[in-house]
A = this chain, B = another copy of it.
Amino acid sequence: MDLEDNRAEGWKYLNKQYFGDGERANYVNIPHVIAMVGLPARGKTYISKKLSRYLNWIGINTRVFNLGEYRRHATSAYTSHEFFRADNKEAMAIRQQCALDALHDVCEWLVKGGEVAVFDATNSTRERRRMIRDIVVHKMGFKLFFVESICDDPRIIEQNIMEVKVSSPDYTNIQNTDNVLNDFLLRIEHYKEKYEPLEENLESDYSFMKIYDTGEKVVVHKHEGHIQSRIVYYLMNIHIVPRTIYLTRHGESLHNIEGRIGGDSALSPRGQQYAGALAGYIETQAIPGLRVWTSWMRRAIQTVKDVKAPQERWKALNEIDAGICEEMTYAEIQEKYPSDFNARDANKFAYRYPRGESYEDLVARLEPVIMELERQGNVLVVSHQAVMRCLLAYFLDKSAADAGRVRLPRGTRRARRRRRRHAPPSPAGQYRTSHATRHMPHATYHTVIKLTPVAYGCREEHVALAVAAVDTHRPRPPVSTARHTPHDTCHTPHTTR
């Protein structure tokens, strides 16, 4: 294939922008392109999205570039599998151009500060992979890692088609799912004609990973560096067996009632009531092979004391360490450390409690928990507000930086609804509402969040058990009120981190 396409100058320009005219000194983190390989319906998009979610969550700026979207953009409405015939010259030219367009965008995004670009396409011929290598490695100087998904189990393929292809924009005009299935199977046949799996003897210089039958077997070839290692480790651990993760905060604690953060207090009477309700709920669900994970904190352990399932304690699930602010109320913190209080509101992710932790620290220590959760079947995780926010951020595809503001059911939903009912949604209104409930903390229900993987994401359900708890959510103050006075502090609701 001729690399001197009409974009040759463009590549040179991009390259120059990235590397400058001289050598880059102290050059450490080379951008990566992860190029998927495999026939249609082998889970390439699933892997791409999941990988991107994980890398973003651990703080590596990652984006998926899906070739199908470029193709849909470049062509009129999809008619049938005929488009993908190997002898359809016109379509082939379009597809080639789309690949170049997508790669150009990949490189441009990496030049502008992206760290990992996942190129989600079939890349099913050696010629195509050589083209990618020439652009990504030779022209741009980036790292390239191929991830091939191989699966010959017709049940998995059909399930995949029915789950995600039926709802593809390609098939909005075809109502009958059987017709979709048949068209898609023919599309796969066209690809099969020219498919060349990665071959270590023929493509001996490439770094790649081959995943067989959704992880039953994995082959890794010439992987190099930190990011590739992490990717291999992560993709080795994900599985596609259906299961559900149950997340809940511990029951209301004595400190919660007083509005104090941190510490290691016991459950309040209502918290104990929740422990009973939770055990009852879990029993009614009769969840096969359930495991229970808690932090090492008393309030978490007490919350599951009657749950009948094998239990494990994780230090990594302990609540964020609030350092010198441990066991204080927000009012006390603001009075004693007003500048810290404001710094935290300005950037909750990076803010580290003096002698304590930030959300950023939390994500780092929760990473092994996530890895282990990926490996497990049904799990009930009982932890704490900040920890649950980070875990939810992962499952709901938020960047690590957004974790600090993820909404949790206990302490948000009901309280917000009330706020909305009682006052206009203005900054002033928020405080007025808080003020109104100053001597009567928000009440809300203890809630279990059920997370069930579906297609490319997670279904989230909230199961409120009928045991009330104080609201511990402190909404982010609007920018204009970032400088609190000691007076307005007293009005902010209770413990939130």
Residues of A within 8 A of B (CB): 25-28, 200, 216-223, 225-226, 229, 232-233, 236-237, 310-312, 321, 323-324, 326, 355-356, 364-365, 371-372, 375
Closest to A325 in B: B355
CA distance A364 to B218 in the complex (A): 27
CA distance A200 to B232 in the complex (A): 20
Q: Known: A26-B310, A28-B312. Is A217-B222 also a contact (CB below 8 A)?
A: yes
- Whether B236 pairs with A26 at a CB distance below 8 angstroms is no
Cross-interface CB contact of A233 among B26, B233, B310, B364, cutoff 8 Å: B233
- Whether B237 pairs with A229 at a CB distance below 8 angstroms is yes
What would 8 A/B residue contacts be, using CB atoms closer than 8 Å?
A27-B310, A216-B221, A217-B221, A223-B236, A229-B375, A233-B233, A233-B236, A364-B365
- Whether B25 pairs with A310 at a CB distance below 8 angstroms is yes
Q: Copy number in this complex?
A: 2
Q: Known: A218-B220, A355-B323. Is A236-B225 also a contact (CB below 8 A)?
A: no
Residues of B within 8 A of A218 (CB): 218-221
Q: Known: A310-B25, A310-B26, A375-B225. Is A220-B200 also a contact (CB below 8 A)?
A: no
Residues of B within 8 A of A232 (CB): 233, 236
Closest to A312 in B: B28
- Whether A355 pairs with B321 at a CB distance below 8 angstroms is yes
- Whether A324 pairs with B27 at a CB distance below 8 angstroms is no
Residues of B within 8 A of A364 (CB): 365
Closest to A237 in B: B229
Residues of B within 8 A of A27 (CB): 310
Residues of B within 8 A of A219 (CB): 217-220
Closest to A226 in B: B372
16 further contact pairs, Cβ within 8 A, besides A216-B221, A220-B236:
A26-B310, A26-B311, A200-B217, A217-B220, A217-B222, A218-B218, A219-B219, A219-B220, A223-B236, A225-B375, A229-B236, A232-B233, A233-B233, A233-B236, A324-B355, A326-B355
